[in-house]
Amino acid sequence: MSEPLVGIVMGSDSDLPVMREAAKVLDEFGLPWEMVISSAHRAPEKTAAYARTAAGRGLQVIIAGAGGAAHLAGVIAGHTPLPVIGVPVASGALKGQDALYATVQMPPGIPVATVAINGARNAGILAAQIIGAARPDIREKIIAYKEKMARQVEEKSALLQELGIDGYLEKMGGNKG
């Protein structure tokens, strides 16, 4: 197994169902990852040590997901020169809006590239794109991934023309809203 290039960090095991989507898409691109639970407030020393040692251990990107007053991505970004992607996780009374603001509103100097609430899949894709900037093999996989998505849209549109609205919804299981 190759050494991990992407670190996926989450504040709690309750974030795991969301954050596993980042790991899944990294697998699709053939990029090795590691996953840890480390809270910025419940385990601040562990979090700082993880971030400080990440680059030296060979990681190239860190994805950090947390809910509530989500300072995990920002704290990690403060301790590492690596690019950090933040995933605001929907949890608690504000359903991720608190985490979105906490993650995206980093003051000047310490950026966190923030994806949508629960947007861990996009975080994984963005991590692959960052690594792909210097890795033609990964860049080719991203191009192929985008071409596949475009083909799927074309196929769906062609099917809609062929079957009409009712026929399309019936064929697709009637779950299109």
Which residue of 7, 8, 9, 11 would you call a contact of ligand RP5, by CB under 6 A? 11
Asked if 96 is part of the footprint of ligand RP5 (rule: CB under 6 A), the reply reads no
Stretch that binds ligand RP5, among 8-16, 53-61, 117-125, 139-147 (CB under 6 A): 8-16
Burial of 135 (0-12, 13-18, 19+ CB in 10 A): middle
Which residue of 8, 59, 87, 89 would you call a contact of ligand RP5, by CB under 6 A? 89
Q: Which residues within the stretch 121-150 sit at the binding site for ligand RP5 (CB under 6 A)?
A: none
Residue 67 vs 74, nearer CB to ligand RP5: 67
Pairing state between β 61-67 and 84-89: parallel
CA–CA separation, 25 vs 128, rounded Å?
Answer: 9
- Which pair of structure tokens corresponds to residue 128? 């692959």
Asked if 103 is part of the footprint of ligand RP5 (rule: CB under 6 A), the reply reads no
Asked if 60 is part of the footprint of ligand RP5 (rule: CB under 6 A), the reply reads no
If DSSP codes are grouped into helix, strand and coil, which group holds residue 158?
A: helix
CA–CA separation, 139 vs 148, rounded Å?
Answer: 14
CA–CA separation, 39 vs 177, rounded Å?
Answer: 38
CA–CA separation, 106 vs 58, rounded Å?
Answer: 25
Which residue of 26, 66, 126, 138 would you call a contact of ligand RP5, by CB under 6 A? 66
Asked if 80 is part of the footprint of ligand RP5 (rule: CB under 6 A), the reply reads no
Which residue ranges make up the site for ligand RP5 (CB under 6 A)? Answer: 10-12, 14-15, 39, 66-68, 89, 91
